[in-house]
A and B are shown apart, each in its own frame.
With several copies, the nearest count.
Chain A
Amino acid sequence: MSITYLEAIREAQARALADDPRVFIYGQDVGAFGGAFKATKNLANEYPGRVIDAPISEDAMIGMAVGAAVEGMRPIIEMQFADFSTVGFNQIVNQAATLHWRTRVSCPIVVRLPSGGTSGSGPFHSQSMEALYAQYPGLVVMTPATVEDAYSMLLEAVAIDDPVIFCEHKYLYYHLKADRLPTEALPTGKAAIARTGRDLSIVAYSAMVHEALAVAEELSGEGWEIEVVDLRSVKPLDTDTVMASVARTGRLLAVGESWPWGGVTAEVVARVASEGFNLLDAPPQRLNAKDTPIPYHPNLWTVHRPTARSIAAAARQLLRS
């Protein structure tokens, strides 16, 4: 048997629906059609009345989820693409994220964001929005990089009593396969060491973990041992694991698929610089996408975002410094 990242997301939702009557799914085309990416395939059939087609109303979709959560439900909202969450932004950051702090009533909703770039998708179907949501208090932001995490973290997301922004990467949907679904997982908030090494820590998340792993493999041929840290969730961000890795390697390269101003790489580098300054043998470095909208043409796109090639170049430079 082999299961893709996308199938894992479907399976996690099937299991959540099966295990907990409070769970329901709401999103455009998620019902009979099974979702734009088929992440809810057959679920409307298997769980009648609990997988509901939404109108093209992202603001009201999130607002609805918050109201249902107040009444004890645990809704999963599918955004058709992460990019469209900008029109539901207010309800996420001001309604969902503040509810518990203001009222002590928890707001257990999951917002699934099909995220990140794929070839030919262009400026409005490729965005990575984890850092926008991570800035706001009151949200948990997950960025699974593996089939196993896609499954177990989505189940975790449903179980958590807070709004969870679940950034699933569209590039990994079909590209990534595993033999079976996991039976156990790291707790939320814990980063994973995706590969151990002693010369350099590459801290990444989501699709960039795989680019980083490819670099580690490539550079192992040149005698370098590169450690790859998979953040798993960017909020909370597991500073301890990052710091422990940098303590071992003395060198840090933070890699993110999103834009260069702010974002996860800034937060990672800033934390390590503040709290682990003396662990560093060389200036910590960052690699991000370019500071323009995400281009449509594959020629441009592959240069716009970090790839194994550009990460390897950055890593070599840093290893030599």
Chain B
Amino acid sequence: MVLGRVLDEKFATLYRAGKIHGGVFLGRGQEALSVAVGMQLQPGDVYAPLIRDQAGRLAFGETVLDAARTYMGSALGPMRGRDGNVHRGRPKAGYIPMISHLGSNIAVVNGALLAKRMKGQNGVVGAACIGEGATSTGAFHESLNQAAIECLPLVLVVANNQFAYSTPASRQFACEALVDKAPGYGVTGHSVVGNDLVQCLAVLRGAIDAARNGGGPQFVEATLLRLCGHGEHDDAGYISQEHKDSPLGRDCLKIAEEQLLKAGVADSDTVRQWRNEVVLEVDDAIAKVQREPAPDPYQEDWCALASRHLQETHSHLED
């Protein structure tokens, strides 16, 4: 969680310094939820995070190097400069790389879960993460319904952070709470305050266990607030002070720290030390990646097919 935040902050700094090509998207304010998903998944599970899930990705097992290499466009990263920033994953490790089209990755998780069932691998779950804006897509609907029909162990986590880019939730849906959608799909619904780590851990644990034990798809609505712009290019001027001052506006990291202290799991020195450790870890990784080669277009094979012999070679001119 702290690592996620620190890494995000580093990317934001690099972005402002003009060292990142393209956008930077942060999970600020959403780390408690994100980490609660990622850390409670197991090897063999499937995970399809979205743009604000740096914390969950790391908790699921992504290395800081993979993240840094993708953001910095290193040729050595999992996407080799072909795709960037949040568009990364390792499908064979159950870590699904998002495409941008919102909602599209849920059905991919369904497919992986169906395949696992066909292969006799039981006791696994798949978590797909989306924002409340993505609940307006047809893809969301088709895939949640599909999971329900097939009774797949899907945990669909909706981070309702009140905004989709600048669009407030009131222009995105008209139901009282998104969790009201669950009965309409015949799936179990859960609600959670998304900036409360302890709650997130408990509710996600419940949902993940239920899915793992044959309870079918679980729909989790987490209520929270994005504590940053949509991307780092956006100052989020459209988020009102009222919103920021509300309980949702409290930083989940602060809340988690209080909870840790209160539970006696750690004291503030320990927490400070954690932060220092991860800062070093992140700095090291970035320093390393910055020395790595960028992709070389003349080494690139420009082949979109796995079946190389079927790739067309255009002897008519091509760049």
Contacts and interface: CB of A to CB of B under 8 A. Distances in A.
A106 interface: yes
Contacts of B165: 28-29, 33, 36
B146 interface: yes
Nearest to A305: B319
A84 B133 CA distance: 14
A31 B312 CA distance: 36
A299 B139 contact: no
B118 A57 contact: no
B136 interface: yes
Interface string B92-110: 1000110111111111111
B154 to A, nearest CB: 11
A152 B292 CA distance: 47
A64 interface: yes
Nearest to A121: B22
A86 B295 CA distance: 29
Contacts of B297: 299-300, 302-304
A289 B312 contact: no
A151 interface: no
A293 B21 CA distance: 17
Interface stretch (A92-100, A168-176, A222-230): A92-100
B21 A63 contact: no
B83 A102 contact: yes
Given A56-B137, A63-B108, A296-B73, A120 B84 contact: yes
A197 interface: no
B307 A29 contact: no
Contacts of A71: 111-112, 115-116, 119
Contacts of A123: 82-83, 87, 99
B314 A60 contact: no
A84 B315 CA distance: 31
B107 A63 contact: yes
Contacts of A50: 118
Nearest to B74: A297
Categorize the interface residue count of chain A. Answer: 35 or more
Nearest to A86: B101
A55 interface: yes
B100 A289 contact: no
B172 A55 contact: yes
B124 to A, nearest CB: 10
A285 interface: yes
Interface string A102-131: 110111100000000001111111000000
Given A33-B166, A140-B310, A101 B82 contact: yes
Contacts of A317: 317
Nearest to B79: A102
A303 B171 CA distance: 41
A297 B110 contact: no
Contacts of B109: 67
B306 A161 contact: yes
B42 interface: no
Given A71-B115, A189-B309, A63 B143 contact: yes
Nearest to A260: B314
A270 interface: yes
A138 B309 CA distance: 13
B81 A57 contact: no
A183 interface: no
B290 to A, nearest CB: 14
A162 interface: yes
A140 B164 CA distance: 31
Given A120-B23, A261-B312, 10 more contacts: A64-B110, A71-B119, A94-B104, A102-B83, A162-B306, A236-B311, A260-B312, A285-B317, A291-B312, A304-B297
13 contacts: A28-B164, A29-B165, A55-B142, A57-B145, A59-B104, A70-B96, A70-B108, A106-B306, A120-B23, A160-B307, A160-B310, A291-B311, A295-B82
Q: Which 7 A-B pairs have the closest CB atoms?
A: A67-B111, A63-B107, A120-B22, A120-B21, A297-B81, A71-B115, A33-B166
Interface of A: 24, 28-29, 31-33, 36, 49-50, 53-73, 75, 81, 83-84, 86-87, 90-91, 94-95, 97-103, 105-108, 119-125, 137-138, 140, 160-162, 188-189, 235-237, 239, 253, 260-261, 270-271, 274-275, 285-293, 295-300, 302-307, 310, 314, 317
